[in-house]
Amino acid sequence: MASSAPASLFNTLYSPEFEHDACGVAFVVDIKGRKSHEIVEKGLTALMNLEHRGASGADPDTGDGAGILIQIPDDFLRSVAGFQLPDPGRYATGLAFFDREGDAAGAKAAIAAIAEQESVEVIGWREVPVDNSSLGAGSKTAEPHIEQLFIASRGRTLEGLPLERVAFVLRKRVEHEVGGVYFPSLSARTMVYKGMLTTPQVSQYYTDLSDERMVSALALVHSRFSTNTFPSWSLSHPYRLIAHNGEINTVKGNRNWMQARESLLASHLFSGDLERIFPICTPGASDSASFDEVLELLHLGGRPLPHAVLMMIPEAWENHRQMQPEKRA
């Protein structure tokens, strides 16, 4: 029986804080750091074995999200970029999701303008080949136009973490200042392929992943069961540093504390005023996305990654009477 109640009434009955479930996550690594296509294949196999941990809607071909993080496959990228790349480690790259209905050309021009302000050279853009024949109607409706950006520092002198910091500032400014574009990653070390996909669709959709030259010594994969946000291409995992399969139930307080701390943040490792990259936590993003954003800031702010992770997930201390005072602090 149809209800005569106004639609606004039903909007009040749904609250995302009551959404609970757990995703699937896996990690494959060659502990000696030897890059191979086999690691990528094993990562994708692990991802498909996590299909039961992901979710889909009434349309089984529209997934909540899935993806893979790998190291930069330099030889592969040199062969497909269509332009000359700097030495390995001296360029950063990442996919960009452009809204289908948006102005991609205008967004790219805005990105170039911000890059100029940040002393970043835009080396070029590459059209990312995709095969969307396996996607359900929901995924196709939300599907972005995908291109790959290549950047370097002006003079192509920076590498390693200094280049990561430059790419981080550029990406954060683009997130805040340019509409209709999202970067799953922008890094000199790793890159992310992800989307509003089921686990088998990741390798079917991104044809890059089937190329033998696509090599890595690690693969981090994730199959999403949306908890405190609805499915979307941008909120699929992995993020830039993590894939997360739980739920952070203190997320509101964490975000509020992070926003309060922003006025105190300072680092000699970043050039210029840090205000241009605030807010650190993207409004409307998931709990995992916020976790990744803060972890990324701590790491690029000068802390080793294990140290930063332990700051994000500290051991129980409140009733630990034997803990040293400096550690409690």
Structure tokens at 119: 């002393």
Q: Is 213 helix (H, G, I), strand (E, B) or coil?
A: coil
Element (H, E) at 112: helix 104-117
Conformational region of residue 267, where left means phi above 0, alpha means psi within -120 to 50, and beta covers everything else: beta
Structure tokens at 200: 């088998």
Question: If 0-12 CB within 10 Å is exposed, 13-18 middle and 19+ buried, where does residue 93 land?
Answer: buried
Q: Is 20 helix (H, G, I), strand (E, B) or coil?
A: coil
Cβ 223 vs Cβ 50: under 8 Å: yes
R_g of the chain, CA atoms, integer Å: 20
The CA distance from 147 to 150, in Å, is 10
Task: Show Cβ contacts of residue 139 under 8 Å, excluding neighbours closer than 6 positions.
Answer: 61, 62, 63, 132, 195, 196, 197, 201
Structure tokens at 289: 């996305």
The CA distance from 19 to 2, in Å, is 26
Cβ 31 vs Cβ 181: under 8 Å: no
Among the listed residues 13, 23, 83, 281, the single catalytic one is 23
What count of Cα atoms within 13 Å lies in the side-chain half-sphere of residue 144?
Answer: 26
CA 232, 141, 68, 134: dihedral to nearest 10 degrees?
Answer: 140
For the question of residue 281 being annotated catalytic, the response is no
In DSSP terms, which residues pair with 182 in a beta bridge? 97
Catalytic residue IDs: 23
